[in-house]
Amino acid sequence: MGKARIKAAVVGANGYAGAEVLRLLSAHPRVELVAATSRTHAGKPVEEAFPSLPVGLTFSDTAAKELKGCDVVFTALPQTAGARLVGELTDGGARVVDLSADYRFDDIGLYEKTYGVTHPRRELNDFAVYGLCEVERERIRKAKLVANPGCYVTSALLPLLPLAKKGLISDVIIDAKSGTSGAGRKSDEAYSYCTVDESFRAYGVFTHRHAPEISEKLGIPVLFTPHLLPIKRGILSTVYFRTNDPAAAESILKNAYVGERFVTYSDKLPEIAWAAHTNRCIYSARFDGERGIIVSVIDNLLKGAAGQAVQNMNIMFGFDEADGLPVCAPV
């Protein structure tokens, strides 16, 4: 007799992250996928809109009543667009993994300043848990609302947090590069094939909204500059910092995630291809006296979004953390 399955739904399943959650859940051994919502494609079979996703569902409009009875709901909507729905879902007994930034910040005022919005359900932030799986695992187990971290944020925080907690780093500069899927599924000439192909550019200098999220979680200021790579998916972050104890910092980096399946220290400098299409973060470090450099790679749609969201769900429901998640990259 098979193990019992939970009922799951994806709100905003037409975006890259939402569609990736849908794909992962469709093959999850402990999940029955019961609903996928999209205002753009409401009434269409999912497979008609996305032939690569033959999940046997028809897109519905976004409404809490359509999600009644779900054990877990993934919300993948723009900032504030799903905040009220998240409240209705948790009030109704569902557990929620939210892929927006609405509940990521401890300081709601900082969130509102960063995103230029007024938070519609500030009180929910009191019990939201930040979903950086390998760091907040015990809190995630009991959470009814998990705030999935940002993609750039994940690539930087996983190697940096163990150092920041020991007060070992300062003067942090994060130089991060992402594939174009990080910008989301939207019609914008800046992200068209002809614009990005054979080119490479910085954007969001001093204004990118992941910088305050990184700084808040580390407890120190950082300089953060993202860049757009002419590839579909993947992030490579090169992190520069100073440390007052290089030997301790190197030891911590090598041993912080020993035994973890999805976060790995490598003696070799990692490449995006090592982590692309997997839920892994692979990082390495080099030191020259008090100067340190970390290179960290993830798949922005998996460990940086949908994969980490499913990993959060696995933790919340006591499943094996690797259920439904890819560990190996294509060869």
Q: Is residue 133 domain-shared with residue 175, that is, in the same domain?
A: no
List, as one string, the DSSP characters of 19-34: HHHHHHHHT-TTEEEE
Domain that includes residue 272, residue range: 151-298
Domain containing residue 275: CATH number? 3.30.360.10
Q: What is the pLDDT along the chain (331 residues), one digit of tens a residue?
A: 468 899 999 999 999 999 999 999 999 999 999 999 998 899 999 999 999 999 999 999 866 677 889 999 999 999 888 998 999 999 999 999 999 999 999 999 999 999 999 998 999 999 999 999 999 999 999 999 999 999 999 999 999 999 999 999 999 999 999 999 887 766 577 777 778 888 999 999 999 999 999 999 999 999 999 999 999 999 999 999 999 999 999 999 999 999 999 999 999 999 999 999 999 999 999 999 999 999 999 999 999 999 999 999 999 999 999 999 999 998 8
Q: Is residue 95 domain-shared with residue 201, that is, in the same domain?
A: no
pLDDT score for 162: 98
Q: Is residue 140 domain-shared with residue 164, that is, in the same domain?
A: no
User: For residue 122, is it within any domain?
Assistant: yes
Q: Is residue 136 domain-shared with residue 169, that is, in the same domain?
A: no
Q: Is residue 182 domain-shared with residue 200, that is, in the same domain?
A: yes
Count the domains in the chain.
2
Measured between alpha carbons, how far is 148 from 97 in angstroms, rounded to an integer?
7
Which DSSP symbol is given to 101?
S
Q: Is residue 311 domain-shared with residue 286, that is, in the same domain?
A: no
The C-alpha angle 90, 113, 204, rounded to 5 degrees, equals 105
pLDDT score for 1: 45
Phi/psi at 15 (nearest 5 deg)? -80, 170
Domain containing residue 20: CATH number? 3.40.50.720
**Strand pairing of 263-265 and 281-288?**
parallel
User: For residue 276, is it within any domain?
Assistant: yes
Q: Is residue 133 domain-shared with residue 22, that is, in the same domain?
A: yes
pLDDT score for 182: 83
Q: Is residue 232 domain-shared with residue 106, that is, in the same domain?
A: no
Q: Is residue 170 domain-shared with residue 190, that is, in the same domain?
A: yes
Report yes or no: 82 and 75 within 8 Å, Cβ to Cβ. yes
pLDDT score for 64: 61
User: For residue 10, is it within any domain?
Assistant: yes
Note if 281 is an active site residue: no
pLDDT score for 331: 82
Measured between alpha carbons, how far is 112 from 103 in angstroms, rounded to an integer?
11
pLDDT score for 193: 78
Among the options 70, 133, 151, 281, which is catalytic? 151
**3-class DSSP state of 47:** helix
Total-model pTM: 0.95
Phi/psi at 216 (nearest 5 deg)? -65, -45
